[in-house]
């Protein structure tokens, strides 16, 4: 039977019991006297259902707000990185426009190359000019600008203006003269060209070493003001140490053959538990108590009663084995007795199980 709730008319307050979700054509859904007076169908309401829906809607609203806050907190670092990337791109673009306007006449009528900024694998800064129309700048992830980054940008823009020479290559004297003029015009500083020219005329050729000499002079002059927001590194996740596996599996499934269940379990337990001695310690009593609990909860292995399985810790199995050997050595019963033979057979099976466990654990530890 479906759950019944009370439906009431808002006008006459007349109510009756009906299912929680009645059909649209169910007469219990409408108040017929009020409908006849008004001329249109007047629906009944279920106050209990309305209260439940309002409570559920408030609960869902709170959960949705909490989820939205969690998502915003999760996306906040990504938004910050995207914002800094846009700021870096704008700073590089603005500085590239300033440098490009210093090249005359190329900077007045040619379109400036497109610039793309990526993070380098190391902390250094480098750049590549692709065909004079695209420039790739690699910056350090934790760098915030400086002489090296600005010099690399000006260096790559010079490649788009100065053509490659068949004799001197792309880094000849004409290239570095143009770079020198741009540096002097941009930062209003005088470059010591004698040291650079002396370096290139004495068994050294033009190349990247000239860039290093220019950077050293700019750093010494301390006139370059080129900075941008750096990329904050996220903290590394802490490694959670996994718990080490126990040496012995606990519990251990122990198989008992069919012939040892019917007439063996109770006499064996009775001999162990009910034979109280004044010399036994508290530990012996605990072992007997545990032994009784184990054998009193023996369950058949299958419906055909081919055997049974009990679960016992390894320490308890060893205690049972030692106690069984102790009672066997007392000589309280004849060796030809059926109980003695059953006890001996059980201890033999238990010994094989313990040896198997020790070999398994030895392989696991090694």
Q: What is the pLDDT of residues 331-343, one digit of tens each?
A: 444 455 555 565 5
Assess whether pLDDT exceeds 60 at residue 290. no
Instruction: Give pLDDT, residue 152.
Output: 94
Q: Are residues 116 and 11 in the same domain?
A: no
Task: Assess if residue 75 is contained within a domain.
Answer: no
Instruction: Single out the residue in 204, 221, 238 at which a domain terminates.
Output: 221
Please give the span between the terminal C-alpha atoms of the chain, in angstroms, as a whole number: 64
Asked if residue 70 has a cis previous peptide bond (ω within 30° of 0), the answer is no
Q: Average the pLDDT over each of 111-120, 144-153, 307-316 and give the range with the smallest value.
A: 307-316
Cα–Cα nearest to 252, from 319, 322, 342:
319
User: How far apart, in Å, are the Cα atoms of 128 and each of 113, 118, 296?
Assistant: 12, 11, 82
284: confidence class by pLDDT, cuts 50, 70, 90: low
User: How far apart, in Å, are the Cα atoms of 337 and each of 175, 323, 325, 348?
Assistant: 110, 19, 16, 17
The CA distance from 358 to 364, in Å, is 10
Q: Are residues 40 and 140 in the same domain?
A: no
Q: Are residues 141 and 191 in the same domain?
A: yes
The CA distance from 345 to 258, in Å, is 13
Q: Are residues 107 and 217 in the same domain?
A: yes
Assess whether pLDDT exceeds 50 at residue 172. yes
Task: Assess if residue 102 is contained within a domain.
Answer: yes
Q: Are residues 178 and 115 in the same domain?
A: yes
Please count the helices (runs of H) and the strands (runs of E) in the chain.
Answer: 11, 8
Expressed as residue numbers, the domain containing 144 is 87-221
Q: Are residues 259 and 328 in the same domain?
A: yes
Q: Are residues 91 and 217 in the same domain?
A: yes
H-run or E-run covering 173: helix 173-187
| Tens digit of each residue's pLDDT (9 = 90 or more) over 82-94 | 999 999 999 999 9
124: confidence class by pLDDT, cuts 50, 70, 90: confident
Task: Assess if residue 277 is contained within a domain.
Answer: yes
Q: Are residues 40 and 106 in the same domain?
A: no
Instruction: Single out the residue in 198, 221, 244 at which a domain terminates.
Output: 221
Assess whether pLDDT exceeds 60 at residue 294. no
The more confidently predicted of residues 166 and 256 is 166
Q: Are residues 287 and 166 in the same domain?
A: no
Helix (H, G, I), strand (E, B) or coil at 119: strand
Q: Are residues 261 and 217 in the same domain?
A: no
Assess whether pLDDT exceeds 90 at residue 150. yes
Mean pLDDT of the chain: 75
236: confidence class by pLDDT, cuts 50, 70, 90: low
Instruction: Give pLDDT, residue 58.
Output: 95
| Tens digit of each residue's pLDDT (9 = 90 or more) over 27-76 | 999 999 999 999 999 999 999 999 999 999 999 999 999 999 999 888 88
* Tokens at 198, concatenated: 């002396």
* Tokens at 348, concatenated: 């033999």
Instruction: Give pLDDT, residue 46.
Output: 93
Helix pair 338-365, 314-330: axis angle to 10 deg: 150
* Tokens at 151, concatenated: 């010099």
If one counts every other C-beta atom within 10 angstroms of the C-beta of residue 229, the result is 16
Instruction: Give pLDDT, residue 170.
Output: 86
Task: Assess if residue 329 is contained within a domain.
Answer: yes
Task: Assess if residue 146 is contained within a domain.
Answer: yes
Instruction: Give pLDDT, residue 100.
Output: 93
The CA distance from 312 to 321, in Å, is 12
Q: Average the pLDDT over each of 231-245, 297-311, 321-335 and give the range with the smallest value.
A: 297-311
Task: Assess if residue 106 is contained within a domain.
Answer: yes
- Rounded to the nearest 5°, which phi and psi values hold at 137? -110, 125
Helix pair 193-201, 208-221: axis angle to 10 deg: 160
> Number of folded domains in the chain?
3
Q: Are residues 258 and 194 in the same domain?
A: no
Instruction: Give pLDDT, residue 103.
Output: 86
The more confidently predicted of residues 88 and 200 is 88
Task: Assess if residue 177 is contained within a domain.
Answer: yes
Task: Assess if residue 36 is contained within a domain.
Answer: yes
Q: Are residues 297 and 174 in the same domain?
A: no
């Amino acid at each position: 039977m479906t759950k019944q709730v009370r439906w009431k008319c808002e006008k006459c307050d007349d109510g009756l019991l009906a299912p929680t979700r009645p059909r649209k054509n169910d007469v219990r859904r409408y108040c017929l006297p009020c409908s006849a007076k008004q001329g249109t169908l007047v629906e009944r309401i279920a106050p209990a259902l309305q209260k439940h829906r309002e409570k559920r809607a408030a609960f869902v609203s709170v959960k949705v707000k909490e989820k939205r806050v969690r998502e915003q907190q999760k996306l906040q670092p990504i938004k910050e990185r995207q914002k800094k990337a846009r700021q870096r791109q704008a700073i590089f673009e603005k500085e590239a426009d300033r440098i490009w306007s210093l090249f005359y006449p190329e900077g007045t009528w040619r379109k400036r190359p497109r610039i793309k900024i990526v993070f380098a694998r190391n902390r250094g800064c480098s750049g590549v000019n692709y065909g004079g129309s695209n420039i790739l700048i690699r910056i350090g992830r934790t760098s915030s600008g400086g002489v090296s980054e600005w010099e690399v940008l000006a260096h790559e823009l010079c490649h788009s203006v100065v053509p490659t020479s068949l004799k001197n290559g792309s880094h000849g004297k004409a290239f570095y003269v143009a770079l020198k003029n741009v540096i002097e015009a941009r930062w209003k500083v005088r470059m010591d060209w004698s040291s650079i020219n002396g370096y290139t005329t004495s068994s050294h050729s033009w190349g990247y070493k000239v860039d290093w000499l220019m950077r050293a002079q700019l750093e010494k002059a301390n006139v370059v003001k080129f900075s941008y927001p750096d990329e904050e590194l996220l903290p590394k996740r802490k490694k959670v140490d996994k718990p080490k596996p126990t040496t012995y599996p606990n519990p251990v499934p122990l198989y008992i053959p069919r012939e040892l269940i019917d007439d063996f379990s109770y006499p064996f337990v009775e001999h162990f538990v009910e034979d109280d001695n004044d010399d036994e310690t508290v530990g012996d009593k605990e072992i007997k108590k545990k032994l009784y609990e184990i054998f009193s909860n023996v369950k058949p292995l299958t419906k055909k009663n081919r055997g049974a399985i009990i679960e016992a810790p390894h320490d308890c199995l060893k205690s049972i084995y030692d106690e069984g050997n102790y009672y066997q050595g007392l000589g309280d019963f004849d060796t030809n007795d059926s109980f003695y033979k059953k006890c001996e057979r059980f201890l033999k099976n238990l010994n094989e199980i313990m040896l198997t466990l020790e070999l398994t654990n030895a392989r696991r530890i090694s």
